[in-house]
């Protein structure tokens, strides 16, 4: 049994058929903000934002009170404060968020070993094999929510369904602090009244294309002949949307999730013009990407440079390497090659980013030759120094000078970059 309140929130309130719904999607409620409120209870019930506060800072998270004013994550902080001028803005503490994320994920894994983290604050769980120990899927979801609340002080929303897609939609409908079970036999009845934007892969542009065809709900998409849909959105997306609209999603919960790419980007407080200043920030980002690759035990075959100009025009350039790498020096040099053609002539750069793509595990076969062997050894030594003495203990010599001022710290997976301690040693 489920009920829907005056908003779009929908939760399960009584007995329900969960016999064929082994997939759970768990999503923490306003995670960054909720962690902050644990130590700032006086802010409960107030509009609270976490994110960069200067110039071009962005919102990393917003409390539900702030969301009522039309504020959401990734919104420029200046716009958010125009919509909600009374909001309390906090810089945030990514290390603390990571600690709470690990505590929450530990609870998940104590209920089932089949956990697929999607991000720092959400995961899929397959509880097929946990019934004998912990009960039915709905009972496990109740236990999970209670344990998260009792052991961390945080709340989460849980969707329970026969597939990953439907479970994720259900958790979003149950927010905040709710649980929604979608019985397998009621999958299409649950999905079809929802707007087309509820389908994975439907962003603003695709939504506009579907609306032009008169397709406003998921049910409309399900009834549309696939060949006709393909003419509007392409055959690959049409096939996927048709399957999802009919509740078909055969993907399993994957406990070993391989990242598709690793990257960092930063938005400048003032647009940059000088090649050297932009290249220096590129070096900083490449250094961070290299560190993350080595920590993850991954190698990248492709390096992509991203630039956004003052008029918001965005360009990317990719280079494929002869041998995959986890070396920051190589990543920087490859990203630097196209930079000269993209800057200069007075063009003002608002954002720069670098991304390592086409990843594979470092142990999956040794290269015939390794042009970066010496640099790799040096950077691994530096990794160990940083591990022992802290971030900022050593870094490229080019970065010892005062850093290019940014409106907000670099956001990495929702985290804000901290200022390194003074007096670092340098290399390069």
* Positions marked active-site: 122
- Angle between the 373-389 and 328-342 helix axes, to the nearest 10 degrees? 110
Give the HSE-up count for residue 203: Cα atoms under 13 Å, Cβ half-sphere: 1
- Residue 360 tokens read as 């594979």
260 backbone dihedrals φ, ψ, rounded to 5°: -80, -25
Instruction: Name the DSSP class of 128.
Output: G
Contact (CB, 8 A) for 130 and 112? yes
**Whole-number CA gyration radius for the chain:** 24
Q: Is 160 helix (H, G, I), strand (E, B) or coil?
A: strand
For 89, other C-beta atoms within 10 Å of its C-beta total: 19
Cα 312 to Cα 351: distance, rounded to the nearest angstrom: 9
172 three-state secondary structure: helix
**CB-based burial label for 270 (10 Å; 0-12, 13-18, 19+):** middle
- As a whole number of angstroms, the distance between CA 62 and CA 89 comes to 9
Which residues contribute to the annotated binding site? 27, 121
Please give the annotated binding residues for Mg(2+), written as ranges.
27, 121
Q: What are phi and psi of 266, to 5 degrees?
A: -145, 145
């Amino acid at each position: 049994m489920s009920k829907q309140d005056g908003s779009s929130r929908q939760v399960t309130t009584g007995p329900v058929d969960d016999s064929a719904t082994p997939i759970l999607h768990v999503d923490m409620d306003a995670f960054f903000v909720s962690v902050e409120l644990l130590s700032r209870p006086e802010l409960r019930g107030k509009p609270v934002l976490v994110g960069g506060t200067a110039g071009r800072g962005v919102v990393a998270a917003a409390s539900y009170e702030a969301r009522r004013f039309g504020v959401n994550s990734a919104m420029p902080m200046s716009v958010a404060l125009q919509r909600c001028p009374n909001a309390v803005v906090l810089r945030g503490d990514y290390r603390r968020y990571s600690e709470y994320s690990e505590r929450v994920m530990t609870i998940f894994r104590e209920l089932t070993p089949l956990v697929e983290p999607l991000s720092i604050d959400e995961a899929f769980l397959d509880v097929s094999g946990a019934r004998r120990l912990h009960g039915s899927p709905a009972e496990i979801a109740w236990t999970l929510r209670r344990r998260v609340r009792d052991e961390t002080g945080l709340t989460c929303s849980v969707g329970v369904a026969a597939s990953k897609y439907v479970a994720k939609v259900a958790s979003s409908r149950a927010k905040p602090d709710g649980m929604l079970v979608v019985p397998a036999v009621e999958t299409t009845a649950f999905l079809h009244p929802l707007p087309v934007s509820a389908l994975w892969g439907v962003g603003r542009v695709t939504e506009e294309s579907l609306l032009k065809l008169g397709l406003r709900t998921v049910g409309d998409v399900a009834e549309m002949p696939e060949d006709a849909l393909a003419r509007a959105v392409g055959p690959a997306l049409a096939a996927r949307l048709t399957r999802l609209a009919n509740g078909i999603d055969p993907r399993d919960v994957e406990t070993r999730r391989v990242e598709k790419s690793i990257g960092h980007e930063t938005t400048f407080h003032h647009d940059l013009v000088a090649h050297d200043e932009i290249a220096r920030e590129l070096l900083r980002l490449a250094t961070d990407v290299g560190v993350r690759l080595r920590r993850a035990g991954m190698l990248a075959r492709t390096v992509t440079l991203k630039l956004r100009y003052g008029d918001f025009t965005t360009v990317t350039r990719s280079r494929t390497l002869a041998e995959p790498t986890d070396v920051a020096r190589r990543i920087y040099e490859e990203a630097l090659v196209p930079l000269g053609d993209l800057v200069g002539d007075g063009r003002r750069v608002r954002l720069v980013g670098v991304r390592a793509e086409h990843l594979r595990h470092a142990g999956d076969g040794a290269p015939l030759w390794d042009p970066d062997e010496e640099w790799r050894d040096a950077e691994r030594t530096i990794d160990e120094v940083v591990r022992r003495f802290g971030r900022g203990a050593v870094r490229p010599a080019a970065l010892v000078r005062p850093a290019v001022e940014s409106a907000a710290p670099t956001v990495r997976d929702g985290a804000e970059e901290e200022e390194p301690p003074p007096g670092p040693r340098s290399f390069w």
